[in-house]
Chain A
Amino acid sequence: MPRTLRLRQELVEQLVAHARADHPDEACGVIAGPDYATPSRFIPMVNAARSPTFYEFDSADLLRLYRDMDDRDEVPAVIYHSHTATEAYPSRTDIAYASEPDAHYVLVSTRETGNDDGPYEVRSFHIVDGVVTEDDVVVVP
Protein backbone atom coordinates (compact mmCIF):
# COMPACT_ATOMS: atom_id res chain seq x y z
CA MET A 1 0.00 0.00 0.00
CA PRO A 2 1.47 3.38 -0.95
CA ARG A 3 2.30 5.87 1.75
CA THR A 4 0.60 9.24 1.70
CA LEU A 5 2.36 12.58 1.89
CA ARG A 6 0.15 15.34 3.25
CA LEU A 7 1.54 18.70 2.29
CA ARG A 8 0.06 22.09 3.07
CA GLN A 9 -0.85 24.14 -0.01
CA GLU A 10 1.40 26.98 1.14
CA LEU A 11 4.44 24.64 1.25
CA VAL A 12 3.67 23.29 -2.22
CA GLU A 13 3.50 26.85 -3.52
CA GLN A 14 6.85 27.76 -1.92
CA LEU A 15 8.44 24.67 -3.42
CA VAL A 16 7.09 25.35 -6.91
CA ALA A 17 8.08 29.03 -6.68
CA HIS A 18 11.65 28.03 -5.75
CA ALA A 19 11.84 25.59 -8.67
CA ARG A 20 10.59 28.24 -11.11
CA ALA A 21 12.94 30.91 -9.80
CA ASP A 22 16.01 28.69 -10.26
CA HIS A 23 15.00 27.23 -13.62
CA PRO A 24 16.91 26.22 -15.81
CA ASP A 25 19.12 25.07 -12.93
CA GLU A 26 17.77 22.49 -10.51
CA ALA A 27 16.43 23.86 -7.23
CA CYS A 28 16.66 21.88 -4.00
CA GLY A 29 15.72 22.04 -0.35
CA VAL A 30 14.12 20.41 2.66
CA ILE A 31 10.82 20.62 4.48
CA ALA A 32 11.61 19.71 8.06
CA GLY A 33 9.12 18.61 10.65
CA PRO A 34 8.75 16.94 14.05
CA ASP A 35 8.32 13.57 12.31
CA TYR A 36 8.38 12.23 8.76
CA ALA A 37 4.61 12.53 8.38
CA THR A 38 4.52 16.22 9.28
CA PRO A 39 6.57 18.41 6.92
CA SER A 40 6.21 21.96 8.25
CA ARG A 41 9.32 24.16 7.99
CA PHE A 42 10.32 25.13 4.44
CA ILE A 43 14.11 25.42 4.01
CA PRO A 44 15.29 26.30 0.50
CA MET A 45 18.93 25.27 -0.05
CA VAL A 46 21.54 26.51 -2.50
CA ASN A 47 22.31 24.07 -5.30
CA ALA A 48 26.10 24.10 -4.98
CA ALA A 49 26.33 22.38 -8.38
CA ARG A 50 24.35 25.21 -10.06
CA SER A 51 23.47 22.81 -12.81
CA PRO A 52 20.46 21.94 -14.98
CA THR A 53 21.21 18.23 -14.51
CA PHE A 54 22.58 17.89 -10.98
CA TYR A 55 22.00 19.18 -7.48
CA GLU A 56 24.02 19.00 -4.30
CA PHE A 57 23.65 20.82 -0.99
CA ASP A 58 26.77 22.81 -0.14
CA SER A 59 28.69 20.82 2.49
CA ALA A 60 28.88 23.62 5.08
CA ASP A 61 25.15 24.36 4.60
CA LEU A 62 24.42 20.66 5.02
CA LEU A 63 26.15 20.54 8.41
CA ARG A 64 24.30 23.66 9.59
CA LEU A 65 21.00 22.24 8.37
CA TYR A 66 21.40 18.94 10.23
CA ARG A 67 22.59 20.64 13.43
CA ASP A 68 19.67 23.02 13.26
CA MET A 69 17.20 20.17 12.76
CA ASP A 70 18.84 18.29 15.64
CA ASP A 71 18.47 21.29 17.95
CA ARG A 72 14.80 21.56 17.03
CA ASP A 73 14.15 17.79 17.22
CA GLU A 74 13.23 17.81 13.55
CA VAL A 75 13.73 15.35 10.72
CA PRO A 76 13.98 15.96 6.95
CA ALA A 77 10.38 14.93 6.23
CA VAL A 78 10.71 16.11 2.63
CA ILE A 79 13.84 16.43 0.50
CA TYR A 80 12.86 18.17 -2.71
CA HIS A 81 14.47 19.05 -6.00
CA SER A 82 13.39 20.01 -9.47
CA HIS A 83 13.95 18.45 -12.85
CA THR A 84 14.15 21.12 -15.49
CA ALA A 85 14.09 19.05 -18.71
CA THR A 86 12.63 15.72 -17.65
CA GLU A 87 9.63 14.38 -15.75
CA ALA A 88 9.22 14.51 -11.97
CA TYR A 89 10.55 11.00 -11.43
CA PRO A 90 13.81 10.01 -9.68
CA SER A 91 16.78 9.75 -12.03
CA ARG A 92 19.45 7.08 -11.76
CA THR A 93 21.67 9.45 -9.79
CA ASP A 94 18.75 10.40 -7.50
CA ILE A 95 18.35 6.72 -6.70
CA ALA A 96 22.08 6.09 -6.31
CA TYR A 97 22.64 8.95 -3.83
CA ALA A 98 19.40 8.78 -1.86
CA SER A 99 20.44 8.41 1.78
CA GLU A 100 17.38 9.20 3.89
CA PRO A 101 15.25 6.03 3.80
CA ASP A 102 12.38 7.62 5.75
CA ALA A 103 12.22 10.91 3.85
CA HIS A 104 9.77 11.77 1.10
CA TYR A 105 11.82 12.61 -1.98
CA VAL A 106 9.65 15.19 -3.67
CA LEU A 107 10.20 16.10 -7.30
CA VAL A 108 8.73 18.91 -9.35
CA SER A 109 9.32 19.35 -13.06
CA THR A 110 9.64 22.77 -14.65
CA ARG A 111 10.12 21.45 -18.18
CA GLU A 112 6.69 22.64 -19.37
CA THR A 113 6.56 26.08 -17.82
CA GLY A 114 10.17 27.10 -17.07
CA ASN A 115 10.19 30.29 -15.00
CA ASP A 116 6.50 30.99 -15.67
CA ASP A 117 3.25 30.24 -13.91
CA GLY A 118 1.12 27.37 -15.09
CA PRO A 119 0.10 23.88 -14.18
CA TYR A 120 2.61 21.84 -12.21
CA GLU A 121 3.09 18.32 -11.06
CA VAL A 122 4.53 17.47 -7.67
CA ARG A 123 5.32 13.80 -7.00
CA SER A 124 6.76 12.07 -3.97
CA PHE A 125 8.80 8.90 -3.56
CA HIS A 126 10.52 6.78 -0.99
CA ILE A 127 13.92 5.56 -2.14
CA VAL A 128 15.39 2.72 -0.11
CA ASP A 129 18.35 0.58 -1.18
CA GLY A 130 17.83 1.48 -4.82
CA VAL A 131 14.10 0.73 -4.79
CA VAL A 132 11.67 3.54 -5.66
CA THR A 133 8.11 3.54 -4.31
CA GLU A 134 5.75 6.36 -5.24
CA ASP A 135 3.74 8.00 -2.46
CA ASP A 136 0.26 9.46 -2.80
CA VAL A 137 0.35 13.24 -2.46
CA VAL A 138 -2.53 15.00 -0.77
CA VAL A 139 -2.47 18.78 -0.70
CA VAL A 140 -4.25 20.17 2.34
CA PRO A 141 -5.26 23.79 3.08
Chain B
Amino acid sequence: MAVEVRIPTILRPYTGGEKVVTAEGASLQELIANLDATYAGIGERLVDESGLRRFVNVYLNDEDVRFLDGLATEVTEGDSVTILPAVAGG
Protein backbone atom coordinates (compact mmCIF):
# COMPACT_ATOMS: atom_id res chain seq x y z
CA MET B 1 0.00 0.00 0.00
CA ALA B 2 1.32 3.39 -0.94
CA VAL B 3 1.85 6.02 1.68
CA GLU B 4 2.89 9.62 1.19
CA VAL B 5 6.10 10.56 3.01
CA ARG B 6 7.16 14.16 3.56
CA ILE B 7 10.92 14.60 3.46
CA PRO B 8 12.70 17.39 5.37
CA THR B 9 15.19 19.71 3.65
CA ILE B 10 18.21 17.97 5.13
CA LEU B 11 17.24 14.58 3.64
CA ARG B 12 16.19 15.85 0.21
CA PRO B 13 19.62 15.20 -1.27
CA TYR B 14 18.66 11.50 -0.98
CA THR B 15 15.38 11.98 -2.86
CA GLY B 16 16.76 14.09 -5.68
CA GLY B 17 15.26 17.18 -4.07
CA GLU B 18 11.74 15.74 -3.80
CA LYS B 19 9.74 17.05 -0.86
CA VAL B 20 7.05 14.38 -0.97
CA VAL B 21 7.66 10.79 -2.05
CA THR B 22 5.66 7.58 -1.81
CA ALA B 23 6.73 4.38 -0.12
CA GLU B 24 5.15 1.05 0.71
CA GLY B 25 4.96 -1.08 3.81
CA ALA B 26 2.54 -2.37 6.42
CA SER B 27 4.57 -0.92 9.29
CA LEU B 28 6.84 2.06 9.71
CA GLN B 29 9.83 -0.30 9.75
CA GLU B 30 8.84 -1.76 6.37
CA LEU B 31 8.14 1.69 5.04
CA ILE B 32 11.62 2.89 5.98
CA ALA B 33 13.19 -0.23 4.44
CA ASN B 34 11.24 0.46 1.26
CA LEU B 35 12.34 4.11 1.27
CA ASP B 36 15.94 3.04 1.70
CA ALA B 37 15.64 0.60 -1.22
CA THR B 38 14.60 3.48 -3.45
CA TYR B 39 16.74 6.22 -1.91
CA ALA B 40 19.89 4.45 -0.78
CA GLY B 41 21.29 5.73 2.50
CA ILE B 42 18.20 7.49 3.82
CA GLY B 43 17.40 4.58 6.17
CA GLU B 44 20.44 4.98 8.34
CA ARG B 45 19.65 8.66 8.80
CA LEU B 46 16.37 7.58 10.42
CA VAL B 47 17.19 4.46 12.42
CA ASP B 48 20.16 2.92 14.19
CA GLU B 49 20.62 -0.43 15.98
CA SER B 50 18.40 0.66 18.84
CA GLY B 51 15.51 1.95 16.72
CA LEU B 52 14.42 5.39 15.62
CA ARG B 53 17.18 7.91 16.08
CA ARG B 54 16.68 10.11 19.12
CA PHE B 55 16.72 13.41 17.22
CA VAL B 56 14.52 12.38 14.33
CA ASN B 57 10.78 12.80 14.72
CA VAL B 58 8.46 10.69 12.60
CA TYR B 59 4.74 11.39 12.57
CA LEU B 60 1.95 9.16 11.34
CA ASN B 61 -0.70 11.67 10.29
CA ASP B 62 -0.73 13.98 13.36
CA GLU B 63 0.88 11.69 15.90
CA ASP B 64 4.54 11.28 16.87
CA VAL B 65 5.16 7.54 16.38
CA ARG B 66 6.97 7.46 19.73
CA PHE B 67 3.51 7.79 21.26
CA LEU B 68 2.21 5.00 18.99
CA ASP B 69 4.23 1.81 18.49
CA GLY B 70 7.49 3.30 17.24
CA LEU B 71 8.90 1.38 14.29
CA ALA B 72 6.17 -1.26 14.71
CA THR B 73 3.44 1.33 14.11
CA GLU B 74 1.00 0.03 11.51
CA VAL B 75 0.61 2.03 8.35
CA THR B 76 -2.41 1.83 6.08
CA GLU B 77 -3.31 3.11 2.65
CA GLY B 78 -3.98 6.82 2.65
CA ASP B 79 -1.89 7.55 5.74
CA SER B 80 0.64 10.31 5.60
CA VAL B 81 4.07 10.11 7.20
CA THR B 82 6.09 13.23 8.03
CA ILE B 83 9.76 13.18 8.94
CA LEU B 84 11.17 16.17 10.82
CA PRO B 85 14.56 16.42 12.47
CA ALA B 86 14.30 17.66 16.04
CA VAL B 87 15.15 21.31 16.54
CA ALA B 88 17.45 20.97 19.51
CA GLY B 89 20.83 21.85 20.90
CA GLY B 90 22.66 22.90 24.00
Find chain B residues with CB under 8 A from A57 CB. Answer: 86-88
Considering residues A56, A62, A81, A96, which has the most beta carbons from chain B within 10 angstroms of its beta carbon?
Answer: A62
Across the interface, name the chain B residue whose C-beta is closest to A91.
Answer: B90
Q: Which of B9, B10, B90 contacts A93 (CB 8 A)?
A: B90
Residue of B82, B85, B89 near A63 (CB, 8 A) is: B82
Give the docked Cα–Cα distance between A57 and B66 (Å): 15
Chain A residues near B59 (CB, 8 Å)? 59, 63
A60 within 8 A of B: yes
The residues of B that contact A2 with a CB separation of less than 8 Å are none
Q: Give the total number of A-B pairs whose CB atoms are below 8 A apart.
A: 67
Distance from A36 Cβ to chain B, minimum over Cβ atoms (Å): 11
The stretch of A9-17, A97-105, A110-118, A132-140 in contact with B is A97-105
Within 8 A of A (CB), among B14-69: 55, 57, 59, 62, 64, 66
Q: Verify A101–B89 contact, CB threshold 8 A.
A: no
Smallest CB–CB gap between B36 and chain A, Å? 19
Nearest chain A CB to B44's CB is how many angstroms away?
Answer: 15
In the assembled complex, the Cα of A56 lies from the Cα of B90 at a distance in Å of: 9
**Chain A residues touching B, range:** 20 to 34
Q: Are B82 and A94 in contact (CB under 8 A)?
A: no
Contact at A101–B9, with CB atoms within 8 Å?
Answer: yes
Task: Find the A residue at minimum CB distance from B54.
Answer: A97
- Asked if B84 CB lies within 8 Å of chain A CBs, one says yes
Q: Does B70 make an interface contact (CB < 8 A)?
A: no
Contact B9 A90, beta carbon cutoff 8 Å: no
The answer to whether B66 touches A98, judged by C-beta atoms less than 8 angstroms apart, is: no
**Complex Cα–Cα for A111 and B66 (A):** 35
Verify if A38 is at the interface (C-beta below 8 Å from B).
no
**B-chain residues with CB within 8 Å of residue A92 when the two chains form the complex:** 90
B9, B57, B89, B90: the one within 8 Å of A62 (CB): B57
B-to-A contact residues, CB < 8 Å? 8-10, 55, 57, 59, 62, 64, 66, 82, 84-90
Q: List 10 A–B pairs whose Cβ atoms lie within 8 Å, in order of A's numbering.
A: A28-B87, A53-B90, A62-B86, A63-B84, A79-B87, A91-B90, A93-B90, A94-B89, A97-B86, A99-B55
